[in-house]
Structure 1
Amino acid sequence: MSFSVEECRFIELPQFADRRGNLSFVQEGDVPFDFRRLYYLYDVPFGVERAGHAHKDLHQLFFAFAGSYELHLDDGLNTRTVVINQPNRPFYVCPHIWRVVNNFTSGAVCAVLASETYSESDYLRTYDSFLEFLREIGKPIKSDLA
């Protein structure tokens, strides 16, 4: 199966608001994958980029628990940039997507639910290896269409 940036999307989670504040949650069935890991980025210095890789099989859900950040996506043919800035509106990223996370605001917390535990073999760490992987699975990329 070949994925695209069009399949990446915001997920609307429940939000319960009253005078005490807001409460949101994510549970099994709320996202398009079963999750096995949570990790988070915080205290990211201004101007620093995170990620800069793709995954072969991993599905992810990106949250902004505080502040905001940008998520830049590339599927070999199309690109897309989204701003993640609402705790109850995470963004789903499917496999086969190159991603870069940057422009963190002061105090931003980027939390990510992942479909699998950490596995180095799932990472495509260079853009060239990402494009080669797409070619191997039969997905057209921009440079092949030129």
Structure 2
Amino acid sequence: MHLPHLITFQHVGSSEYGFLDIAEVDKNIPFEIKRIFWTHSVPNGIKRGYHAHKKTKQILIAIEGSITVTTEMPDGTRKVFELKNSTQGIYLPPHVWHVMEYQDNAVQIVFCSELFSETDYLRSYIDYKNYYK
């Protein structure tokens, strides 16, 4: 089972003209992207997520602001990631319980390996722990 980890994106440009950060399938995106969504206008300190996916792989990127992502694997291993700029993202394989806390007017974009399916979600922490027993 793969573990959550940070991915660095190519960052080009200058403060004079602006910057471009690059994500490419088969280079730093380890799956075909089938769905993209973004979150915005989330009040500071709000936590979202509180779920895991059975099949979907994701990459989360803080385009603006900062997002603290807490992950937990089925074996109980926890890790905390700080996303503070668009040059890094976190890869979330399937089976990872994750909670995101938004700060500084965060804008998040998420690349997904699968189309939305409610049956792919484990939305209760108790169900998550029981599913992987």
Q: TM-score under structure 2 normalisation?
A: 0.92
Cα offset for 1:124?
Answer: 0.2
Aligned to 1:91: 90
Give matches, 1:56-135, under 5 Å: 56-76=54-74, 77-102=76-101, 104-135=102-133
Counterpart among 14, 17, 21 of residue 18 in structure 2: 21
TM-superposed CA distance for 1:46, in Å, is: 2.4
Choose between structure 1 and 2: higher strand proportion.
2
* Aligned equivalents of 1:46, 1:28: Cα separation in 2: 32
| Corresponding position: 1:9 with 2:5 | yes
Output the CA distance in 2 between the equivalents of 1:106 and 1:91. Answer: 19
Does the residue aligned with 1:129 lie in a helix, a strand or coil?
Answer: helix
Instruction: For 1:37-52, list aligned pairs within 5 A.
Output: 37-52=35-50
Bigger mean CA deviation after superposition, 27-36 or 52-61: 27-36
Deviation at 1:49, TM superposition (A): 1.2
Larger radius of gyration: 1
Counterpart contact for 2:45–2:103, Cα < 8 Å: no
Residue 31 of structure 1 aligns with an amino acid whose one-letter code is: I
Partner deviation per Cα, 1:62-116 (whole Å, 9 max, x = no partner): 00100101001011321111111120211101110100011x2232101110111
* Residue range with higher mean Cα deviation, 12-21 or 118-127: 12-21
Deviation at 1:31, TM superposition (A): 1.3
CA shift, 1:37, in A, is 0.8
State the alpha-carbon separation in 1 of the partners of residues 47 and 21 from structure 2. Answer: 28
Task: Give 1:131 shift.
Answer: 1.0
Task: Flag structure 1 segments of 5+ consecutive residues without an equivalent.
Answer: 136-146
SS in 2 for 1:43: coil
**Whole-Å Cα distance in 2 between the matches of residues 98 and 105 of structure 1?**
20
> Offset of 1:27 from its aligned partner?
2.0
Inter-partner Cα distance in structure 2 for 1:51 and 1:27: 25
List runs of 5+ in structure 2 lacking aligned partners.
Answer: none
With normalisation by structure 1, the TM-score equals 0.84
Report the AA paired with residue 72 of structure 2.
D
How many residue pairs match? The answer is 130
